[in-house]
Chain A
């Protein structure tokens, strides 16, 4: 456990870090963030006693660090500074072994079994064991960095200070080093303070974050309390946005390049649709931001090719992912930029309509097979096999939607679809009640994200009204097409 109280210090008489206070409990990881020159490394140097303290104190196990002598402090606290060059060549093993220096006391101190064990453990943990006998100068920067991490680990101290441990490392080795630090913290109670440049890594691996600005503390707390877009923008003077990590409840951050082509209009028109016997395709020049429940590339993403593929009624749905991939390969579509929906309805029955609005035009495309329509309030009574989605709705908006707007658009579109079914008197064959959809309908909302951002897309807004009207009218048209055919 390390306690820092009102610490100021740095080079000469000018304190570069001012009034820093924090506590890191045993087994916890504190990440220090901040722009270049904000005093991160200086803080680490003051903490480790390399640079003088002007006021305040650093306490380890309740004792000020000044009361420890160099060797005793090295047994308590290991430090990994940024990469260092070396004039002579040592083997990896020799370098890691130096970590045992504080433990070797006495004139004839010999290499004990504990020393050997610590060195072996450190080499295995960092994955440098296989270079054991290699001279340092033959290793890459990243490998050398890992050797120094191993050296610090071999010190078997309770506290570990790391200055950018992931410098020079590729993503696999970043993960390896940080996973290892995390594991040592959780399993062996190692207390870690590390300076990191990468806010996303810091968010993923640290229990607490300290954000520095101009040598002072700007914020401290759990990652979600520190990585706040407005705060980061203020400290770093850069446009950023936060988003959720796919697996962990930790905020992630991404840079937003300076806005340039936001105002440039690229209109999607009805003429951009191609209809063949096998699919309805919309190919766009710019990628669209899409939220969909498609078979291929569902969820949120940016795509420039939309397919509504017509498959025969006896299509085997069990291995649909692989089959769709094969189809894309066969037809020369790029799997990463294409969204695919499936329908049992012939492509000729599609209804595509264009609606104009003040923000830009909107196109709605619907294929509706209502043979298997159900009343959603009564489906719990049924237990049939799933069908291929029979009402596929695409809403393509020439405009810019916020995330809320995307979700509201899906609601609005769904409500409009249901209303269309009611208006066409489509009934659940089993219960005889008005159907609300089919069992496997799919919806896609796409936007060009050009122009003024529209925050909401509920039926009260212009875009919501257009979606409601568009989806309703187009779905009615599609149902009529279907009825005429069958």
Chain B
């Protein structure tokens, strides 16, 4: 079997297992039969279909979005340290969310969904401002300009969040727990809300998979090889920002996934974006589902913020792979 086929088979199998584990493991045991027969165990079936499955799917979608966006940004910005948050979109989403909590904003009819809606708006607004500003500074929209602009806006928006935290009273706990990130108690509506963004965003990135391979060698080289660099850049930035904004809006700022999953994928299966993008998508989903499983089961009955777990599990795994990889290649440095 070709290496790349193995990669997809293995990755998908892992994802399936993690989905099942994520949904089945917990204080209530879920038998296999609920998948096709709800009457076997009514309570278990309810817990599975109404609580655990949407949670697992949401975790998966968020993880997938962050990972594919991270892979695309790292490729586009040619910077291995880039992640979905580099361009400040997540900060924008956070400001939207924290504002909603801080000012107790509510939209008629929207109810609980005011927060993700505002968060999404924050993300979109930030993306537009960052890109407009970067374009005003440098018409050709160089990568360095983008990174710098992103960093500047991130810190500015970060200070706004800090300000609100400093001034908040009883909302503090709610704000902090949102910022640490969680996928609990969201249910199907959140899944439905994020799905279109995930689909459109991922598709936008996927159309640019070959362009990303070429862009790694610089914009000039990409132009020589026939890439419409400007169009590619906008598509990747817009797609990635859309995914990031949607993910942050439904789950808060979950770190590490967007940075590390693309790297792990590259190290194991190679740097070809035609595969890095889909494989990162799948691996991101798997990682976040497992992290969420650990977050909600490790110190029962309490739940940990998922962001704590991603780094806690991700960092050692990443280090191990990094070490192995360098050793086996017999690197000079």
- Which A residues contact B (CB, under 8 angstroms)? 45, 48-50, 69-75, 78-79, 81, 84, 86-91, 94-95, 98-99, 101-102, 104, 107, 109, 135, 138, 155
- Which B residues contact A (CB, under 8 angstroms)? 74-75, 78-80, 207, 210-211, 213-214, 216-218, 220-221, 223-229, 266, 270-272, 329
User: A84 near B207 (CB under 8 angstroms)?
Assistant: no
Give A320 to B163 CA distance when docked, in angstroms: 97
By a CB distance below 8 angstroms, the chain A residues around B80 are 87-88
Q: Which of A74, A90, A109 is within 8 Å of B225, CB to CB?
A: A74
User: A70 near B214 (CB under 8 angstroms)?
Assistant: no
Give A50 to B225 CA distance when docked, in angstroms: 12
Give A84 to B220 CA distance when docked, in angstroms: 10
Measured CB to CB, the nearest residue on chain B to A135 is B329
Q: Which of B74, B78, B213 is within 8 Å of A98, CB to CB?
A: B213
Give A94 to B271 CA distance when docked, in angstroms: 9
User: A94 near B272 (CB under 8 angstroms)?
Assistant: yes
User: B224 near A75 (CB under 8 angstroms)?
Assistant: no
User: B220 near A81 (CB under 8 angstroms)?
Assistant: yes
Give A74 to B80 CA distance when docked, in angstroms: 28
Known A71-B228, A84-B218, A107-B207; contact A49-B223, beta-carbon cutoff 8 A: yes
User: B228 near A70 (CB under 8 angstroms)?
Assistant: yes
B111 → chain A, closest Cβ, in Å? Answer: 40
Measured CB to CB, the nearest residue on chain A to B78 is A87
Give A88 to B272 CA distance when docked, in angstroms: 10
Measured CB to CB, the nearest residue on chain B to A94 is B272
Give me 16 A-to-B residue pairs in the complex whose CB atoms sit less than 8 angstroms apart, sorted by A's number.
A50-B220, A69-B228, A70-B223, A71-B226, A74-B225, A75-B226, A81-B224, A84-B217, A87-B79, A88-B216, A88-B266, A94-B271, A95-B217, A101-B214, A101-B227, A135-B329
User: A102 near B271 (CB under 8 angstroms)?
Assistant: no
User: A90 near B216 (CB under 8 angstroms)?
Assistant: yes
Give A74 to B224 CA distance when docked, in angstroms: 6
- 20 more contacts with CB within 8 A, not counting A71-B227, A99-B225, A101-B210, are A48-B223, A49-B223, A50-B223, A69-B228, A70-B227, A71-B228, A74-B224, A74-B225, A78-B224, A81-B221, A87-B78, A88-B216, A90-B271, A94-B270, A94-B272, A98-B213, A98-B214, A98-B217, A101-B211, A101-B214
By a CB distance below 8 angstroms, the chain B residues around A98 are 213-214, 217, 225
A426 → chain B, closest Cβ, in Å? Answer: 75
Give A155 to B227 CA distance when docked, in angstroms: 13
User: A104 near B210 (CB under 8 angstroms)?
Assistant: yes
Measured CB to CB, the nearest residue on chain B to A87 is B78
A355 → chain B, closest Cβ, in Å? Answer: 66
Give A107 to B79 CA distance when docked, in angstroms: 27
By a CB distance below 8 angstroms, the chain B residues around A50 are 220, 223-224
A103 → chain B, closest Cβ, in Å? Answer: 9
Give A375 to B218 CA distance when docked, in angstroms: 76
Give A73 to B223 CA distance when docked, in angstroms: 9
By a CB distance below 8 angstroms, the chain A residues around B210 are 101, 104, 109
Give A90 to B329 CA distance when docked, in angstroms: 13
Give A109 to B207 CA distance when docked, in angstroms: 11
